Amino acid sequence: MRLVALESDKVDRFWQWFAQNATRMTRVETDMTLSNEIARELRRIHQPDDYVGNGPCLGFDFGEKKDGQRELIITAHGIISALHLATRLADSAPPIPGWRVSALVRRKNTDRLLNEYQLGPDDVWFKHEIVDARLNLTVFVINLPEEKEHDILAIRDLLIYTLGEEVFAKKINVFDCQRLPTDPEIWSLRRLRELPEIADKL
C-alpha cells in the first residue's frame, strides 16, 4: 500500500490556523459553521481544492475535557490508508492553550456507548466471518428502517467507537446492517459487547 505523504508547510499552516481560532473552536460542537471550517482546513492538508474522489480523508472528534483542556482528536475516518496521516498531524501539533491533541478515536465501553445511541445491550447484535485475518460483519439493530443508508453510516461510527479506530480500520473488512430478528440467540448472533474481544484475538 502506497502511503500518502503530508507536506510540512501545509501541516504548519493548519496548526497556525487552529491556534489563531482556538477560542472560537470551543463552540464547535454547537456551531455547525465552525465544524465545516475545521473540515475544510483539514482537507487542504492532503487534498487540492478541486479534488473529487474517495481517497484518504482526515477528520476530527472531541474527547473529554480534563484539567481545563479540551481534547481535539485527529481521525482518519476509519480508513486504513489514512491512519498515518492522522497520527503524523497530531504528533506535529504545537502547544495550544486550552487544548490537547491526540490521534485516532479510542475504544469506548460498549454499554455506555449504546446508551449514548439510546440503545440497550440487547438492541445490537452481530454475526461474523473471518476472511484473511479480518472480519466480515453483519450488524443487527432493533427497529432498523428499510431505508438504511443513513443507518449504515451511524453503524460505522458505532463500530469505530466500539473497537477503536485503528482496530476498526485494520480488522474490519466489510460490514452490513440488518433489522434484528425476534430471537437473535436462535440465529447464533452475538451481542455487540463481544466484538472487541473477537477482533483483538485476530
Structural domain contains residue 98: yes
Instruction: Say whether both 60 and 126 belong to one domain.
Output: no
Residues 86-115 have pLDDT tens digits of 999 999 999 999 999 999 999 999 999 999
pLDDT of residue 1: 46
**Residue 188's CB: how many other CB atoms inside 10 A?**
8
Instruction: Say whether both 78 and 140 belong to one domain.
Output: no
Instruction: Say whether both 76 and 158 belong to one domain.
Output: no
Structural domain contains residue 193: yes
Instruction: Say whether both 197 and 131 belong to one domain.
Output: yes
Which parts of the chain register pLDDT below 50? 1-3
pTM: 0.87
Instruction: Say whether both 117 and 161 belong to one domain.
Output: yes
Instruction: Say whether both 99 and 120 belong to one domain.
Output: no
pLDDT of residue 161: 97
- The domain total for the chain is 2
Residue 180 neighbours by CB under 8 Å, 6+ apart: 123, 124, 125, 140, 141, 142, 143, 144
Domain-terminating residue out of 103, 120, 149: 103
Q: Which domain holds residue 80?
A: 8-103
Instruction: Say whether both 192 and 115 belong to one domain.
Output: yes
Domain-terminating residue out of 82, 103, 124: 103
Cα→Cα distances 130→80, 134, 172, Å: 18, 6, 9
Instruction: Say whether both 131 and 115 belong to one domain.
Output: yes
Structural domain contains residue 22: yes
Structural domain contains residue 187: yes
